[in-house]
Amino acid sequence: MERALTLVLLAAVLVSGCISGSDKPAVNPLAAEAGATGTNQPAPWPFGPAREERSTYEMITEKERALLPECSDAMLTLPPVDLGRITAIEPIGSSNPPEHTLASSSTDTYIAVDTQNTESTVPLYAPGKIWITVIQPRYGVTQDPEDHVIHYALCRDVFGIVDHVKSFSPEMMKIVENYKCPYGGTPGDSRCPILLLEPVEAGTKLGEVGRKQGNFNFGTWDLRHTNNFVNPARYGVRSLHSTCPFGYYSSPLREQLAGMLDREDRDCGTVEYDVPGTLQGEWFYNNATNRMRGDWFNQLFLGYSNRLPEAAVISVGGVISEPIKWMFVPEKSGTRNAGFETVSGSGIYCYESDRSYWNYEKGPGGRIIIQLISPQKLRIEHQQGTCSGAYSFASPKIYER
């Protein structure tokens, strides 16, 4: 993400599988219990077709949830990759426009790979007993030829995702190849999402991570926890319920992974930056949300760094300028670089980067002027110049919660 590391690295999710050694698709005992013929067949009640019953691909139905076990305190017992290969873990809450304008709901795990070999990878394993719910094969979408996504369930309330899987293991590839498309298409394409409830055992190899990207993305969301956003309607289930993934590990692995967090206080970070009635938090242009990839351009983040919590962050996806990420230590008084959480009046405030955090920043210089015009709306504009002297709006844009 933001930081150049001497080793190529990255962060991710956990999912695993115990697949039959024969060519015959493994039978899902949960599906069998419900009267289905097997995991990789279009299943009758209670599953679906899942593509019709699921409100989103990443969230299983209530009937599917009822078949999963109750949640416990420590459901993960193994690291997703060899601990010796992890160099750092980026906390939740990273903003890196344009792709991640708002605070990220996942951690990034950076791994040591051979910098002289861009094909170097590290094995990825299921960290506990899980149920794979969605597989998204992706080819040719990044600098690496493969970049897959796996969604999973730990129990009926806790779910996760592992992103940037650079190749599937034979076990995972068999699931993909044996999946039967109920309405035509090829498994994983727009006509045939791979929707499952496939149990896999802890320690099952899922694939490989690394290559040119050098990291994998790892996140969890827990339906028993709801994050505080001013307008929850703009958020998808993953962001609404995102949690720190390390809380679901058993000790001492939980403490070992938390100790690798790239932050002085080893805090896991947060996505809860909204402060009602102030500038601080996440903002949207027109009808944008945080649910759609294409909406990144229309998002605005006014919060704090997930790695350096003393540093304020302005993250702009677009609209008012090209993508911007500015960082600065907020002033305790005045209208220049004021802390976002302190701005609740209707005055015009001016922000500029002093390039103290140049290694993390991006985008053009200049200044950004902002005015809170109601608890739910702000006026904002990027201009040339600094915050010295007078300034006023010329062609502002309106963002809303």
Structure tokens at 95: 């903003």
Cβ distance 279 to 301 under 8 Å?
no
Decide: helix, strand or coil at residue 250: coil
Residue 15 has pLDDT above 60, yes or no: no
Model confidence at 72, in pLDDT bands (50, 70, 90)?
confident
**Of 3-17, 72-86, 96-110, which range is least confident?**
3-17
Is 249 a domain residue? yes
pLDDT at 120: 85
Is residue 129 predicted with pLDDT exceeding 60?
Answer: yes
Lowest mean pLDDT among 64-68, 115-119, 201-205: 115-119
Q: Is the pLDDT of residue 341 over 60?
A: yes
User: In this structure, are 324 and 247 located in the same domain?
Assistant: no
Per-residue pLDDT tens for 257-271? Answer: 999 999 999 999 999
Categorize the per-residue pLDDT at 40 as very low, low, confident or very high, splitting at 50, 70 and 90. very low
- pLDDT tops 70 at residue 41: no
Q: Calculate mean pLDDT across residues 318-343.
A: 95
**Among 223, 258, 293, residue at a domain's last position:** 258
The rounded percent of the chain whose pLDDT value lies above 90 is 67
Q: In what order do the strands lie in the sheet with 312-316?
A: 324-328, 312-316, 299-304, 281-285, 397-400, 377-383, 367-374, 348-351
Residue 335 has pLDDT above 90, yes or no: yes
Helices (H), 146-236: 170-178
Whether 104 and 178 share a structural domain: yes
Question: Are the beta carbons of 388 and 369 closer than 8 angstroms?
Answer: no
Average pLDDT over residues 180-200: 90
Q: Which of 18-27, 237-246, 356-365: highest mean pLDDT?
A: 237-246
Closest CA to 58 of 159, 188, 191, 192: 159
Q: Is residue 333 part of a domain?
A: yes
Mean pLDDT of 362-388: 95
> Which DSSP string corresponds to 72-120?
-S--B-S-SS-GGGEEEEEPB---BTTTB-SPPSSEEEEE---TT-TT-
Q: Is residue 14 part of a domain?
A: no
Tens of pLDDT along 220-233? 999 999 999 999 99
CATH of the domain at 51: 2.70.70.10
Which region among 30-39, 210-219, 296-305, 361-370 has the lowest average model confidence (pLDDT)?
Answer: 30-39
Are 376 and 230 contacting, i.e. CB atoms less than 8 angstroms apart? yes
Q: Quick one: what percent of the chain has pLDDT higher than 70?
A: 86
Q: Which of 348, 343, 351 is nearest to 385 (CA)?
A: 351
Q: Is 340 within 8 Å of 326 (Cβ atoms)?
A: no
- Report yes or no on 4 lying in a domain: no
Query: Both 92 and 188 in a single domain?
Result: yes
Mean pLDDT of 13-41: 33
Task: Please determine, for residue 18, whether its predicted confidence score (pLDDT) is greater than 80.
Answer: no
pLDDT of residue 112: 76
Whether residues 159 and 235 share a domain: the answer is yes
* 323 shares a domain with 208: no
The reply to whether 160 and 291 lie within a common domain is no
Position 374 in a domain: yes
Residue 274 inside a domain? The answer is: no
Q: Report, as an integer, the average pLDDT of 278-304.
A: 93
pLDDT of 92 > 70? The answer is yes
Task: Please say if the pLDDT value at position 13 is more than 70.
Answer: no
β-sheet bridge partners, residue 92: 269
Look at residues 43, 27, 26 and name the one whose alpha carbon lies nearest to residue 195: 43
| Same domain, yes or no: 112 and 217 | yes
What is the domain range of residue 118? 29-258
- Kindly report, residue by residue over 103-122, the tens digit of the pLDDT: 999 898 888 766 566 678 99
User: How far, in Å, CA of 9 to CA of 86, rounded?
Assistant: 8
Q: Bin 367: left if φ > 0, else alpha if -120 < ψ < 50, else beta.
A: beta
Residue pair 167/207 in contact (Cβ under 8 Å)? The answer is yes
Give the chain's domain count: 2
For the segment 71-82, the average pLDDT, to the nearest whole number, is: 91
Q: Which of 34-38, 268-272, 392-396, 397-401 has the lowest mean pLDDT?
A: 34-38
Same domain, 198 and 308: no
Query: Does position 380 have pLDDT exceeding 80, yes or no?
Result: yes
Rounded CA separation 313/121 (Å):
33
Residue 306: closest CA among 325, 332, 319, 321: 325
Tell me the pLDDT of the chain averaged across its residues. 85
